Amino acid sequence: MKIGLLKCDFVTPEFRGIDGGIPDMFTHLLGQTDLDAELRIYRVWEGELPKATDECDAWLTSGARASVFEEEEWIQNFQQFITALHADKRKTVGICFGHQMIAQALGGEVRRSERGWGIGVQEIAITAEEPWMKPPLSGVRMLFTHQDQVEQLPPGARLLGSTGHCPHAMFALGDHILAMQPHPEYSRRYLRALIESREAIIEPLTFQSGLTSLEQPPHREEPAAWLRHFLLA
């Protein structure tokens, strides 16, 4: 299976010693499931996009420090490609920035959260079960770091999970699109480094509670299994 990674950001040099780069994180995530997959990398933030939606069997979209509503050329081109993936019903998984872009491109709304930063380990309450959610969970703890979030789902989307901070934490469209705000590819060590690097821009109580939340282990194997089942369904 050939999976295209639509890479919308990069890991800064001081953090590369933790888990490597973004492709390394996704390779490790998919490797947990023994999925026989070849990862093809597209540096979207540098203007590199696939020429066609069928260049790969499925697509993953990464997070980014940018906002989907910024008027950068690469962001607008990325939005057009997401629209094409949906039109062609190509298997697509959007994570963080990718989750938000799917919502915006297909008619939803993304804004800077009035609740401030969402960081650390948060539990997503599963509001609707899908056949690929094996093993089934009523709640799944995952790693978050974001300021923007989906405030309105696109038409036809099914809400799959919510947190108190992020009501639209996970949604699906048809059988071909899965979008999630959290980062299943991150480790707690990497997220801790990110949070600590942003101390000056995160409200102190949020900063401390986010770090404290990292003491509880997130689900790792279960979200990875869900991704495998979704991509192969």
Catalytic machinery residues: 96, 183, 185
- Contact assessment for residue 103 and residue 116, using Cβ atoms and an 8 Å cutoff: no
Q: Going by DSSP bridges, is the β-strand pair 139-146/38-43 parallel, antiparallel, or unpaired?
A: unpaired
Rounded-to-integer distance, Cα 7 and Cα 65, Å: 12
- Helix, coil or strand: residue 38: strand
Q: Which residues of 165-196 are buried (b: 16+ CB within 10 A; e: fewer)?
A: bbbbbbbbbeebbbbbbbbbbbbbebbbbbbe
Please name the helix (run of DSSP H) or strand (run of DSSP E) that holds residue 60, with its range, or none.
strand 58-61
DSSP summary character for residue 46 = G
Say how many CA atoms lie within 13 Å of 141 toward its Cβ. Answer: 12
d(CA 31, CA 26): 8
Strand partners, 149: 111
Distance CA 68, CA 51 (A): 21
DSSP string, 104-142: HHTT-EEEE-TT--EEEEEEEEE-S--TT--S--SEEEE
